[in-house]
Amino acid sequence: MRSALLIPFSLFTALVLAAAPLPPQAGTPAPRHGPGGDPVAGGGIFDVRSFGAVGDGKTVDGAAINLAIESAAGAGGGTVRFPAGRYLSGSIRLRSNVGLYLSHGAILEAALPSAAPYDPPEPNEWFPYQDFGHSHWHNSLIWGEEIQNVSITGPGRIDGRGLSRGFENGKYGDPPPGTGNKAIALKNCHNVTLRDFAVLHGGHFAILATGVDNLTIDNLLIDTNRDGMDIDCCRNVRVTGCSVNSPWDDAICLKSSYGLGRARATENVTVANCYVTGGYVEGTLLDGTEQSAPSGYAGFTGRIKFGTESNGGFKNIVVTNCVFENCGGLAIESVDGGVIEDVAIDNITMRNVVNSPIFIRLGKRARGPDSPPAGVIRRIAISNVVVSGAHRRLGSIISGIPGRPVEQVSIRSMRVLSEGGGTALDAALRVPEKEADYPEPDMFGTIPSFGFFIRHASDVELTDVDIRTENPDLRPAFVLEDVAGAEFVHVRWSRSPSAPSFSLDSVTGFTTRLCTPAGDMHMDRVDKRQF
């Protein structure tokens, strides 16, 4: 029989005192200890309720949440868990090696600034080159800077009802002091995962990621009042299986701003298996009622876009297996000097497109230090696109500027059903250049073609393309101006007996093959011709 281990009383007292938890610091809630007096549930799980969070939808729990995050970081890492409940908070500061987990029934809600003022926007000397929202990160519900190995996951919800969307007193502008305007903002981070949760009322951005590398965004449902997600100056990004309703702004938007103080490309990005729309009343995609937005409700934007901020450009990008509905079409824009190259778009369906199904714009807004020269757009491959309900005023647009063409664009296997109804007066319109204007498909007004308007471009190829109109259209199907190298192979279109099919102006190297009804032809140079 073993003898009892005897410990001197003085040593026993010292061990007990050493093991006792330190008293909470002033201004922080006292942890609520679980069994054994340990605030950690085990396995690196830090329950926010153990740190004083109430989750009753009335108490501001931000201090408790941040204490749990700091405790997890201090332990070398861990998961901060939100059990079911509604947690009001101001700014939540992420730390390296810490993940937030929103359980079923957990709602993390952005409090009103009067109840919990948000962290102030940090100084940024480069703010003149992008709007307020892109220039600051700390004024957010959840933010992280210079951190790595972090995640926000779980089936719960982020509700940004206390956030500003940057639309104050009936006009866009900077939010008042103490206000947050983003649900999630990340700057200069590595190895970030955002998965499985929902966002309602995301503010100016539901997600703003700037300079974030190795970023995974998967299976999110975002139903918001401005942009869904902006991926800015990021590398090695995977956006998969997300659904975004953003009636007032873009759904999934790649950016390359000057917010970091340098031109940095967004590159190595895959966007796959996503659904984007701007056609539902905010919140009704999330609750499943899918109430159609009434006329005048919003701009029905809700699209996938590259730009407008485009200082660093976009390289090595894939967009595949995505659905557009009741929203804008695909937009690829370089207007601030950036290079867009090596882009593949495949397996896209669009229904009820409110502007151009495809909009490729190289402009010269030149918003950046020392007014950068016009950028470059080249090697763009778009294939397997099906469009119905395209807006009558705007066909697809590929437009550079004089002396700076869009280069090497291939469009294959595309089916478009447009409203049609264009008039002879529409066909006679001259499209203004607007080199420095903000790029939007409607920037030129009604387009004099119902299929494609192609200007200041080189090496453009359309293969197996079919463009039809629901109503007779007196505009040409295709208008080409200042184009060097244009090949149309097995292209078909609706034709009115009183309107030409092609309008060519300053075009070289023009070829059609297997095209009905134009037949086969090649013209080395065309100064001006319609047929």
In whole angstroms, what is the distance from residue 443 CA to residue 459 CA?
A: 24
Looking at residue 28, its pLDDT comes to 44
Indicate the residue type of 353. V
Residue partners of 368: CB distance under 8 A and separation at least 6? 129, 258, 263, 311, 336, 337
Looking at residue 344, its pLDDT comes to 98
Q: What is the DSSP letter of 444?
A: G
In whole angstroms, what is the distance from residue 218 CA to residue 228 CA?
A: 13
In whole angstroms, what is the distance from residue 344 CA to residue 361 CA?
A: 16
Looking at residue 208, its pLDDT comes to 98
Please answer whether residues 103 and 87 qualify as being in contact, where contact means their C-beta atoms are separated by less than 8 angstroms. Answer: no
**Beta strand segments in 118-181, E:** 142-145, 148-153, 157-159, 167-168, 171-172
The CB-side HSE value for 486 (13 A sphere, CA atoms) comes to 29
Looking at residue 168, its pLDDT comes to 65
* Residues 217, 284, 56: CA angle, nearest 5 degrees: 80
Looking at residue 33, its pLDDT comes to 42
Cα separations in angstroms, 356 against 96, 185, 301, 441: 42, 30, 12, 6
Whether residue 308 has a cis bond before it, omega within 30° of 0: yes
Grouped pLDDT means (10 residues each) for the chain, 531 residues: 38 37 39 42 87 98 98 97 98 98 98 95 95 96 98 98 81 83 98 98 97 98 97 98 97 98 98 98 97 90 97 98 98 98 98 97 96 96 97 95 98 97 96 96 96 98 97 97 98 92 97 88 95 93
pTM of the predicted model, to two decimals? Answer: 0.91
Please answer whether residues 401 and 411 qualify as being in contact, where contact means their C-beta atoms are separated by less than 8 angstroms. Answer: no
Pick from 158, 60, 55: nearest CA to 102: 158
Residue partners of 504: CB distance under 8 A and separation at least 6? 480, 481, 510, 523, 526, 528, 529, 530
